[in-house]
Structure 1
Amino acid sequence: MLSDFKSHIAQNFRFLEGKKLLLAVSGGLDSMVLLDLFWKADANVSIAHCNFQLRGNESDVDANFIESFANQNQIPFFAERFDTHQFASDYKLSTQMAARELRYRWFAELAEQHGFDFILTAHHANDNLETFLINLSRGSGIDGLVGIPAQIDNVVRPLLGFSRNEIEAYAKTNRLEWREDSSNASTKYLRNQIRHQVVPALEAIDPAFLSAFLKTQSHLQQTQSMARDAAVLVYKQVARETHDEIHFNLEKLLRLPNYAAYLYHWLHEFGFTAWDDINDLTSGQSGKQVLSPRYRLVKDRDFLILSSLKDSNEIESFVIEKDQNQVNFPIKLSICKADGVSHVSNNTIFVDAQKIDFPLELRKWRNGDHFQPIGMNGQSKKVGKFFKDERFSILEKERAWLLCSGDRIVWIVGHRADERFKVQTTNPILKITLTQ
């Protein structure tokens, strides 16, 4: 296996050569083989061991075993004890997910602190098969069926091409010592049920099942890559990114016979899970929305608009004092005296200073708000009607700010000033500019 491993690294992981490597070593069969292979390949390795304190004294014995091995072979050694149960309780995670989060968070810290180029784990082909079957049982899409990736950023899994039988045979041939995790024999966890009950049954039907599975997974990975390329091309045709939003053109989207698959591909990374609701949104009424923990998807006429959720504690009203000539939050305004009216635009207005009552208020619009759009002498218009006529999206309405003097609207900022504050005399003039 050692020569096969060296060829495997040279062919698929040449970028590891000469790098500073941090190996995740539990003390079990797989990680001890990973350590031995890289050690015999004269790689620059260090050991990281996580003590999750889940198996009492057994966990401590594992840690001592690894530390003793590291000391005997003069390999740099890092160890950390975690209160996994408390972390799982605090963040409402399963014990397994809590351990995973703690493990990779600590590995990342070690890599940053000590300059490790890559973090290596001992996942192998059987782990990949088990993950495939778990995701298959949960109704996963192709992303869940392609298995464990060989590399994500600086985390690398160089043993994915080797089976558990190969790894065990290597360990016995080379008389390696390892620790057996007693929890691996339990069928309490789904992965162990699949490992001890399902996989043996499949291999009884076909002894070459694992080899055939690896070929199938390779085909799935190629299909996934092709689907991603197609999704990028379609995204460029259907989506438009503006500010902190993404607008999906429904007319173009719905021409696609498999538009729901594209939506899944684009949106799942934003935490959405209610796919039936998202599919219904494409034909729903304007204003309907679907939420994820941090984002929302809104139907707005001919578009689906993706945006981040507003902070529920966001203040929607701000005071501008008389001597204040600069506003930096929530939007940027400059206020100064002017000798006359020059260039007027959506972003710059001139108002009669004597018609303004300080303090001014910068606030969000409310139902029933009305103003007199400049140029419409004596004619009042509801702000909501103005938004509709100007074809504001739902999110644009929410982002709009009103500059008010008392209960009168001076300016729908960046859009339309009010006729009542128009400069018509020789009174002092204020110039107000939206600077962002």
Structure 2
Amino acid sequence: MLPVQQFTNHVLQQQLFEASDHVLLAVSGGKDSVLMAQLFKQAGFNFSIAHCNFNLRADESQRDELFVKMLAEEMQVPFHLVHFDTKGFSQTHKISTQMAARQLRYDWFEELRQAYGYARIAVAHHQNDAIETVLLNLVRGTGISGMHGILPKRGHIIRPLLFLSRQEIDQLVDEHHLAYVEDSSNLSSKYARNKIRLEVVPHLREINPNLEETFAENITRFAETEELLQQVVTQNRKQLLKEEGTGVSLLIKEVLNLKPQKLLVFELLKTFHFTSAVVDEILASLHKQSGTSFYSNSHQLIIDREKLLISPLNQSCDEIFYLHGEGEVSMGFGQHMKLKFAEREAFKGEKNIAHVDADLLIFPLVIRYRQDGDKFMPLGMKSLKKLSNFFVDEKVPLPQKAKVPLLINGNGEMIWVAGLRQDERYKVGATTKKVAIFELSN
């Protein structure tokens, strides 16, 4: 008898899905996925079957497709089939055939899940797959997340066979005379995972005959350790990362106080896709001159005096916006500027609000971002000052300089460096009859 009770207990303990859910099973036709389908069938769960033909093994691929289609018909469940030009996709995207197949199948599974309302996508990974993944991660280099290998559930993907080893699956398939098809590529040591399966794991089992049980216990400990680490990282992220414009800042003195420093800084910056090697460079450069920059594929980190400033790449705006009168305009970086008029209003000294003599305005007013050579007369001064020098004096972080809106009068003069300082020439004076009130908001 198949271990249906053990299977349903595993589903319940790991909270993989609800008994009433409709689950999509990824079935290749091999022992693992066939056994998974049989367990779902005997447990009485609601499921459909999906099969990918990667067109990599000629007649063997067609054989697998026909076998899985017949299995679905025999079980009387819905069947989904797709054909991929895997080699073409691999060449176009300059990735390995294995990576291409992985991306193609998981993208398709997710399309099916959304189109048909499947609650989960079940794949037939078992304990030995988890062992191979941990070993592969260790060889290639990994953090704590790579040490737990394959998790029972991640997003909509579930792995209901992780309670079984490779040997147990072989035994069950043989004992119950379950039909299956063999993928000949699994016997080739050309692929790194196969090399570990065929040449490394057997030697490890000689050292420890209970290898699967030992790894299962270790993987559980590693997963719990990662969970504990993420609690610490989440707490640090809330306390240490401060919103600054469209990015965040992190005080260098706080970085120096972190222990263990490299691990926690890596976890904090992982959200912004900085690699371990770049984190090493950042930590070695904490006391370098202001302006030193580091990059991930999505963010820039700048050492700016006492802070690390992190902002998204490609955040610039050359667009020009116009104010034709009272009202509000939306600008770049999620910013808004509002204009209203009043007879007189008390000056509150708020940086995001400017009070201007309305009679000096020449419409339409222009709102833009900095350009080379920009000058204005800061409030309280009697001469023009370069905007670049003003930013330096005000210690405006480097990533923010390109994101400060500038309010320009119709005659080309700057009225307000929004959020920082307005121009002396447009201030409200004793002879002002009407006040223009500008407000900047995000």
TM beyond 0.5: yes
In the alignment, the residues of structure 2 paired with residue 389 and residue 426 of structure 1 have an alpha-carbon distance, to the nearest angstrom, of 30
> 2:41, 2:75 within 8 Å by CA — same for their partners in 1?
no
Q: 2-side partners of 1:266 and 1:60: how far apart?
A: 48
Q: Which residue of 2 aligns with 1:92?
A: 94
Shift of 1:388: 3.1
Aligned to 1:411: 416
Q: Deviations over 1:72-101 (max 9, x none)?
A: 221111111222223333333322222222
> Cα–Cα, structure 1 residues 269 and 346, in superposed 2: closer, same or farther, change >3 Å?
closer
Q: CA distance change for structure 1 residues 212 and 241 in 2, over 3 Å: closer, same or farther?
A: same
Larger deviation, residues 240-249 vs 117-126: 240-249
1:341 Cα deviation after fit? 5.3
> Which residue is equivalent to 1:392?
396
Return the letter of the residue paired with 1:278: I
| Alignment counterpart, residue 10 of structure 2, candidates 1, 8, 11 | 8
Fraction of identical pairs, as percent: 36
Which of 36, 39, 43 matches 2:38?
36
2:330 is matched with 328
> For the residues of structure 2 that align with 1:230 and 1:346, how far apart are their CA atoms?
36
Residue in 2 that maps onto 1:307: 311
C-alpha change, 1:435 and 1:125, in structure 2 (3 Å) is closer
1:337-416 counterparts in 2 under 5 A?
Answer: 338-340=342-344, 342-343=346-347, 345-352=350-357, 355-366=360-371, 368-376=373-381, 378-405=382-409, 406-416=411-421
User: What is the aligned length?
Assistant: 433
Following the alignment from structure 1 to structure 2, what is the Cα–Cα distance between the partners of residues 393 and 37?
Answer: 59
From the superposition, tell whether residues 19 and 284 of structure 1 become closer, same or farther in structure 2 (CA, over 3 Å). same
Corresponding residue SS for 2:194: helix
Partner deviation per Cα, 1:94-114 (whole Å, 9 max, x = no partner): 222222222222212222222
Query: Could you tell me the TM-score, scaled by structure 1's length?
Result: 0.91
Q: Decide whether aligned partners of structure 1 residues 14 and 189 sit closer, same or farther in structure 2, where only a CA change above 3 A counts.
A: closer
Specify whether residues 266 and 426 from structure 1 end up closer, same or farther in structure 2 by C-alpha distance, changes over 3 A only. Answer: closer
How has the CA–CA distance of structure 1 residues 204 and 39 changed in structure 2, closer, same or farther, with 3 Å as cutoff?
A: same
- The reply to whether residue 433 of structure 1 matches residue 439 of structure 2 is yes
- Opposite residue 20 of structure 1, the aligned amino acid is H
Give the partner amino acid of 2:22.
Answer: K
Q: Which runs of 5+ in 2 are unaligned?
A: none
Which amino acid counterpart does residue 129 of structure 1 have in structure 2?
Answer: I
2:52 and 2:83 in contact (8 A); partners too: yes
Q: Which string of whole-angstrom CA distances, capped at 9 and with x for unpartnered residues, describes residues 130-185 of structure 1?
A: 11111111121111111011101221111112111100110011111111111111
Q: After the TM superposition, which residues 61-76 of structure 1 pair with which residues of structure 2 at under 5 Å, given as runs?
A: 61-76=63-78
Contact 1:351 1:431 in 2 (8 A): yes
- 1:281, 1:39 → 2: CA distance? 59
Deviates more, 1:425-434 or 1:88-97: 425-434
Q: Check whether the contact 2:22–2:46 (CA below 8 A) recurs between aligned residues.
A: yes
Corresponding residue for residue 249 of structure 1: 251
Compared with structure 1, are the counterparts of its residues 358 and 241 closer, same or farther at alpha carbon in structure 2 (3 Å cutoff)?
closer
Distance in 2, matches of 1:183 and 1:339, equals 82
Report the secondary structure of 2:209's partner residue. coil
**1:222 pairs with 2:224:** yes
Match of 1:279 in 2: 283
1:422 is matched with which residue?
427
The answer as to whether partners of 1:374 and 1:418 remain within 8 angstroms in 2 is yes
Provide closer, same or farther for how the CA distance between residues 224 and 161 of structure 1 changes in structure 2, counting only shifts above 3 A.
Answer: same
CA contact 1:371–1:418 (8 Å) conserved in 2: yes
1:23 paired residue number: 25
Aligned-pair distance for 1:294? 1.3
- In the aligned structure 1, how far is the partner of 2:436 from the partner of 2:261? 52
Conserved 8 A contact 2:273-2:297: yes
Query: Quick check: 2:325–2:363 contact (8 Å CA) kept in 1?
Result: no
Deviates more, 1:379-388 or 1:347-356: 347-356
Contact 1:325 1:335 in 2 (8 A): yes
Amino acid at match of 1:190: A
Is 1:288 the counterpart of 2:289? The answer is: no
CA distance in 1, matches of 2:416, 2:223: 55
Q: Distance in 2 between matches of 1:323 and 1:5?
A: 69
Q: Contact conserved, 2:16 with 2:160, CA < 8 A, in 1?
A: no
Shift of 1:431: 4.1
1:135-146 equivalences under 5 Å are: 135-146=137-148
- Is residue 296–residue 306 contact of structure 1 (8 Å, CA) maintained in 2? yes
Shift of 1:426: 5.6
Whole-Å separation in 2 of the counterparts to 1:199 and 1:415: 64
- Structure 2 CA distance, aligned partners of 1:11 and 1:329? 51
Query: Is 1:128 paired with 2:130?
Result: yes
Tell me which residue corresponds to 2:119. Answer: 117
Measured against aligned partners, the alpha-carbon deviations of 1:209-233 in whole angstroms (never above 9, x if no partner) come to 2322222222222222222222223
Rounded to whole Å, the distance in 2 between the matches of 1:247 and 1:184 is 49
Whichever residue aligns with residue 363 of structure 1, its letter is R
Q: CA deviation at 1:7?
A: 3.5
